[in-house]
Every structure is written in C-alpha cells, then in structure tokens.
Amino acid sequence: MNILNVDSLHKTYGLKPLLEGVTFGLGESEKMGLIGANGSGKTTLMRILGGLEKADGGRISIPSSARVAYLPQTPEFDPELSVLDALFDTDHPELRLLHDYEEVSRQLEQAASPEEQETILARMSELSHKLDVTGAWDREARAHALLDRLGIVDTKARVGTLSGGQKKRVALGRALLLEPELLLLDEPTNHLDTETIAWLETWLSRFSGALLLVTHDRYFLDRVTNRMLEVRPGAGVMKYEGNYTRYLELKEEEERLSEATEQTRRNLARRELAWLRRGAKARTSKAKYRVERAWALQESTPDGPDAGVELSGASTRLGKKVIELDRVTKAWDGRTVVDGYSRLITRHDRIGIIGPNGSGKTTLLDMIAGRTTPDSGRVEIGPTAVIGYFDQEGRPLNDELRVIDTVKEVAEHIPTADGGIITASQMLERFLFPPAVQYTPVAKLSGGERRRLHLLLVLMQAPNVLMLDEPTNDLDIATLTALEEYLDSFQGVVIVVSHDRWFLDRTVDDIVRVGELGVLRNYPGNYSAYLEKQREEEEEHEAAKRAREMKAAPDAKRAPDSAAPPRAASASDAAPAPPKKLSWAEKQKLDRLEKQISNAEARKSDLENELMAAANDFEAAQRLAEELGVLEALLEKDLEQWTELAERA
C-alpha cells in the first residue's frame, strides 16, 4: 500500500515549466532516492510535498493519520528558540509536552513572587504527570542522545546564534526524533562529517517507514535506497527498481538502446531522403505520407535524457616544490586545531582532508592556500603555484549580469591540453548551461546552478593547484561525475576537504585526518584504504587489550596446568591440512552447478538477442534488462560455488 501518491503534478516559474505531469507512488516501507540535474526541480518537488510551496496543478495524497517529517535544504527556525525548544517545536503530542515543560521551567526561573512560583509548580506537576503517563521522558533522553550524535553540545544555545550547518543538524535531529511514517530528506548529509554520515546510514537502513531522499552522496544513496526516481525537466519522472548502482546499470542499458534506436532512425531517414531527392515524379499525392515521414525523421533527433559534461583544460607547469608547511600551529578561541604540522606538497599530490565537524579542516586548507596566517610555523608557496580555491561560499555574483558575461569577467577562453582553446560559451555548455541559459541573468539560476557556475569560474583561471572545500555540496551527480573525470586528467595538485566518501575514493590517493588537539595524521591511499587501516588498528588495539587482561589474570585462569611440559609440535602445527576431497553430496552439487551454468549462459545469450530486438520498445527492453541483471547475478554466484568445488575435485 502506498503512503504517498502524486498524480499529474506540475509547477511553472515564469514561462518555464519546471515540473510537468509528475506521477508516482511511494510504498509504506519504500526508500526512494530522488535524482536529477541541478535545476530539474528536485528541491521544488520536495518543498511541495513538505508543504512549503504550492503546486500549480495535480494531486498529492497522504493518509491523514500518517505522521510526516520534512528536512528542507535550508531549514528556518525562530531565532529566539533554544536548540532544545526548536527540537520539540512540532505538532507531535509527546514532543509538544516536552516543549511546554521546557517553557514552564524557564518561567519558574523568572518567577517574581511565591504565588507565581506556586502556580508554575502546579503546572509543572501536571505536565510531569502527563510525561510519565505517555513515556515522553524517554523521548527527551533520545533527543539529547541525537543532538550529541549530531555534534550539537549546547542545547540551551539560541538557534539564531548557530551556523547554517548547525541549524541543518538540529533540523535533521527533529525529523528523526519524530519517528514518522513518511520521511522527506533534502540533502541530509550536507554539513555532516564522514563518521556521522555512516551513523545516519545505519539509522535510515533500520528505519521502518517510507523515505524520499535527495542527496549527492552516491555511497549514501546506494546503501540506503531501494528505488530511484529520476526527475526529467518538463518531462515528468521515471522510476527505476533498485539502488543507485542498479540505476546506473539500467541507465547504461537505456542509453545503449537509445543509441541503437537512433542508428535505426538515421538509416531510415537516409533512405527516405534519398527517395525525396529522386525528383518530383516519385512524389505523387499517393506517397505524400512518405514526404511527411522523411521530414519528421529529420527533425526527431533526440536530445537524450542527459547532456554530457566534458571538462578539459591546460594549466601552468609546476616546479618541484609546490607548497611547504613547516611546524604549522593554529588555534581558535583557545583551542588548538592544528599543532605543529609539517608537510612538503609536491606536484601530482592528491590529498583528501577529513575529520569531525569543527576539527579545523577548512582552517588547514586556508593556511595551505595562504588565506590564513598560522600562529607559529611557516607556509611557503612555490613561485610557479597558481591556486584555484573552490570554497563553500563562492565569490560574490552580480545577479544583474548575464551568465556568460560573468564567466567572461574571469576569462574569454582557456587553453586546452592539446594546444587549442575553449571559449567561455563552450565551457558553459560543457557545464550544462545551454545557450538559452547563458544569456539569462544570474538571478534566475537555482542554488545548484549557482554552485556549478562558481566551480566553472575557478576552473576558468587555469590553476595548477586546485583546492576544493566541500565541493560536492549542492552539485548534481552528473556534474560531480564530470568533475571527477576532469580531476583524473588534471596535471596539478588536488587538495580536497570533503565528507563525500565516493568523491574521495575517486579523486585522492592520500588522506590527512584532522583529529583532537590539533593532531594530524597521514594515511596513504584513498578513503576506503583509510577505513581499512582504521579497522586494522581497532583490531590490533582489541587484541592488545585482551593480551593485557590475560596477563593480569591469575595463573590458574591463564592455563590449566602451568607445570605441564610443553606440547610437542604436531604435523598440523607445521602446515595446514590439505583440503578435503569432495563428499558424494558435493560431487552431486558440482554436477548440478555445471548444468545450471550451461542453462544460464544459454538463457543469457537469448536475453541479449531479445534485448537487441526490442530496441524500439522501451518497456519491454527495461523488463528484459532487469531479467538479465538478475540472471547475471545468479550466474556469478553459481560460478563462485563451482570454482570452489572444482578446485577440490
């Protein structure tokens, strides 16, 4: 049964249809990822579902009894509320009781007379009884635990004093605390560190309600969702079964089919146009439909569901010494965030900086870039270094300027690696800004489009040292993939602060973790290698702990007979036992697997042929592609089992 049904929803801004005929359903325990290019309408759709905007038409159905929690991309609070009040400021009955209790507690502190105190105490007693009856005290304990896990320590601080990232985390805590039947999350991983993202992944995986999620974090999307919904500007939505990896597989197959269809269209158009050119005698009224079809074919070249982004460029050549940090130390508000860090950054270094929120990652990046001066130590930037810094704020943009003029203020063109040039207009097209958008004012861009423009302005400087501070925030997946490909061929230094584990795995080969008390530690490899090293160290720590405990235990507990002579080494101690021969049952299984594999490979070949034949029938092709995917997974599993048994046969 669906908890959410959306039927023929549409929304227009000015003359531009943003959402057109959006129709889909979300099951009671479905976890759906909402994806699409920047400006496609993802956040607008979420705001409509969350009640912050109205659609121009269509219908949304949610059961009246269902509790809905919505995390907007930029949450808003009453700035005078405390963090705890903001968390409890909802229509949820238990949270409303806690909110009232907090309010009465404050009134008691400000009571001017004994009579007033007595009235307030009576009210507190009444609320306390209700909290006991409903079990809401447990929810308060969960609220404090949630805030602590999200890095919000001062629960009495006024929301107006918090940073944008802290407000987002408070809003996330409130959404999770509601324990809704329908959870709407718009970019929940923004402003979270990697450890907290991993915790949130686990929380959502155990969440029993329905989830609709917008995120650029592809690992997060892959591990949390089981359905994907792609928003296509002006063309509704397309639903895909499976997580993000499965979505990519289906998209690849869809594009392959689209290419085959396009080739068929071209061949048919070529024949029809050849017929047209044979002259007037061939074009009788009887064949009028062929003329119409020929011109229709000529005009029907598809734009494709995604415009590709292809980035390339040349940068100034770097010398041997790029940037040197020598015993650098920095403190903020009496707290040391970087303590005596030294490093020589050389050409081709690709460094990822990670650590908890507020640990000093951006401070370190600012010192490397020369934006912030260390309290002690030295930062020396080499004479050939040209730094391009993509920060979280971005340079101020003139909303009155056209997009193309904004880019031309930085450079009219940039050189390419092969000696050519890319004009400002061409670069904009490669960043998914079509000509029509290039000549519109910057004010009309969405938040994600502005972020993409900021990135383009940095790359137009042709830097050879690229510093990226949380580059994945507010960029769509198509742009992130293109940026990753750009960095693959980038000849300079890359230094990234990011919470996006997929992006770190793709772009860096050295991790610097900013820890407590300003201690920085280097880990060779990408983010996955760092995690593996962390696991190894935790296992070593546990083993050492167990060894210490055993050593501290009484002798009687350590060994049954400490005076017993040492046991003679056996053959089994010297070498591992040879693998056991196959049992009768295992031999039968091996024979059965060989038949299954043979049948599966034959069916796989049939499906591939059917898939080619269904090039013009998308629904049939999608069904066949799904069957092929399931078959390939089963075949791979059978092959693994067959290999294991065959080695012992």
pLDDT tens for each residue of 63-77: 998 999 999 988 988
566 pLDDT more than 50: no
Could you tell me which residue, 591 or 578, shows the higher pLDDT? 591
Question: For position 129, what pLDDT does the model report?
Answer: 79
27 pLDDT more than 90: yes
Do residues 507 and 352 make contact, with C-beta atoms less than 8 angstroms apart?
yes
In terms of phi and psi (left: phi > 0; alpha: psi -120 to 50; beta: otherwise), the region of 244 is alpha
Q: Which residue has the tokens 């010398």?
A: 319
Global pTM? 0.67
Arithmetic mean of pLDDT, 470-496: 86
Could you tell me which of 38, 40, 154 has the C-alpha nearest to residue 87? 154
Which token pair is 173? 């805590």
Which neighbouring-strand residues pair with 106?
Answer: none
Angle (CA) 82-87-90 rounded to 5° is: 115
Residue 604: enclosing H or E segment and its boundaries? Answer: helix 584-613
Average pLDDT, the chain: 82
> What whole-number distance in Å separates Cα of residue 237 and Cα of residue 24?
8
Fold agreement (2-97+151-248, 321-531): yes
Least confident of 79-93, 488-502, 618-632: 618-632
Dihedral through CA 37, CA 43, CA 46, CA 47, nearest 10?
A: -160
249 pLDDT more than 90: no
Question: For position 260, what pLDDT does the model report?
Answer: 73
Give the CATH fold of the 2-97+151-248 domain.
Answer: Rossmann fold (3.40.50)
List alpha helices for 135-217, DSSP H.
136-149, 164-177, 194-206
198 Cβ contact partners less than 8 Å away, ≥ 6 residues apart: none
Per residue in 144-175, pLDDT tens?
888 888 888 888 889 888 888 889 999 999 99
Do residues 461 and 407 make contact, with C-beta atoms less than 8 angstroms apart?
no
Burial 168-207 (b: 16+ CB within 10 A, else e): bbbbbbbbbbbbbbbbbbbbbbbbbbbebbbebbeebeeb
In terms of phi and psi (left: phi > 0; alpha: psi -120 to 50; beta: otherwise), the region of 179 is left
364 pLDDT more than 90: yes
Residue 11 phi, psi (nearest 5): -150, 135
Q: How many Cα atoms are found within 13 Å in the side-chain-facing hemisphere of 6? A: 22
Superfamily of domain 321-531: P-loop containing nucleotide triphosphate hydrolases (3.40.50.300)
List alpha helices for 370-420, DSSP H.
403-408
Which token pair is 129? 């009884």
Arithmetic mean of pLDDT, 452-469: 91
Helix 164-177 × helix 136-149 angle, to 10°: 150
> What whole-number distance in Å separates Cα of residue 99 and Cα of residue 81?
11
List alpha helices for 466-568, DSSP H.
477-489, 501-507, 527-552, 555-558
> What whole-number distance in Å separates Cα of residue 374 and Cα of residue 331?
8
576 pLDDT more than 50: no
Which token pair is 400? 């009155």
Do residues 202 and 195 make contact, with C-beta atoms less than 8 angstroms apart?
no
Could you tell me which of 31, 28, 25 has the C-alpha nearest to residue 49? 25
Question: For position 565, what pLDDT does the model report?
Answer: 43
501 pLDDT more than 70: yes
> What whole-number distance in Å separates Cα of residue 176 and Cα of residue 70?
10
The two beta strands, 57-61 and 2-13, are antiparallel
> What whole-number distance in Å separates Cα of residue 362 and Cα of residue 391?
9
Per residue in 100-154, pLDDT tens?
887 788 787 777 777 777 788 888 888 887 778 777 777 778 888 888 888 888 8
- The single-letter DSSP state of residue 80 is T
Arithmetic mean of pLDDT, 582-602: 72
Do residues 465 and 389 make contact, with C-beta atoms less than 8 angstroms apart?
no
437 pLDDT more than 70: yes
Please say whether the dihedral angle defined by the alpha carbons of residues 364, 367, 372 and 377, taken in this order, is positive or negative.
positive
Output the CA–CA distances (angstroms, integers) from residue 129 to 97, 98, 122, 124, 136, in the order listed: 11, 12, 11, 9, 10
Could you tell me which of 222, 223, 216 has the C-alpha nearest to residue 187? 216
Please say whether the dihedral angle defined by the alpha carbons of residues 150, 153, 155 and 159, taken in this order, is positive or negative.
negative
> What whole-number distance in Å separates Cα of residue 429 and Cα of residue 438?
8
Q: How confident is the model at residue 284 (pLDDT cuts 50, 70, 90)?
A: very low
Q: Domain-by-domain residue ranges, the chain?
A: 2-97+151-248, 249-299, 321-531, 584-647
Cβ atoms < 10 Å from Cβ of 391: 19
Which token pair is 282? 């061939």
Tell me if residue 634 falls in helix, strand or coil. Answer: helix
Arithmetic mean of pLDDT, 552-567: 50
Which token pair is 69? 């929690």
